[in-house]
Amino acid sequence: MLRHLFLFAALLGSSVALADAAPLSATVVYESRVVSADGIEKRTRFSERLVRTDSVVWTERVIPADASHEKATHEEGHDHLHPADLARAARYLSRDAGGQLRLAFVLDEERTVVGAEPRDFDQLGFDGNWPMSWSLFDPAQLKSLKQTERKTAEAGASWYEAHGQGRFIRVLWSESRRIALEIESGTDDGSRWNRTQVRLDAKPPAALPWQRLAKYHRKDYVDLLD
């Protein structure tokens, strides 16, 4: 059971009902470290902006000031989008009253929204797990972890942990906000390590990012495959 907790993208959906919530915004920092058998160490670090309401999860990459400004060119011309272009797009995930999920990608430079059907989710690396997207960790999985006495400065938050089979996972869970504020996992030998940290904003943005999309062009994901 513990082994599956480390495959965040493969967790099964939860039937836990998510209560209506006021908008929440934060910066989410992802870090990882892998040391291969031949001694090569690879580190990855990136950040995303998160804006969440009861029915929408919006995430977009934070581009550092010193990032490369080189852009890939396409043999067929610059005006044709390709699936690879979605790597720089904001992800706009919504859920209707019936629980149906809608996934779209927003490219501001092209003023375009690319919609994806459920049949496309696997190809786009999305498993359809709404609680995982909304909370960053499926709350149904907390019952597989043990609450600890580890101290935290975050009011109303508690640490949950599990160890076994040479692996570990630690989750700092905020019950009041229904979000994982920190997730750390890895191997006991130190060859693999991952951490997700949530830095909450004091208040949500004045305007929600998806409210600007009314005049954007619309495309289907399958259009990018031509």
DSSP-derived secondary structure for 178-190: TEEEEEEEEETTS
CATH topology (fold) of 2-9+23-63+80-225: outer membrane lipoprotein receptor (LolB), chain A (2.50.20)
For the cut 60, the answer to whether the pLDDT of residue 218 exceeds it is yes
Over the stretch 51-62, which tens digit does the pLDDT of each residue have? 999 999 999 999
DSSP run (H or E) holding 112: strand 112-116
Query: In the chain, where are the structural domains located?
Result: 2-9+23-63+80-225
Stated pTM of the model: 0.84
Q: Which residues contact 79 (CB under 8 A, 6 or more apart)?
A: none
Confidence category of residue 20, pLDDT binned at 50, 70, 90: very low
Cα gap 184→173, rounded to integer Å: 12
Q: Which residues contact 220 (CB under 8 A, 6 or more apart)?
A: 114, 115, 116, 117
Over the stretch 156-201, which tens digit does the pLDDT of each residue have? 899 999 999 999 999 999 999 999 999 999 999 999 999 999 999 9
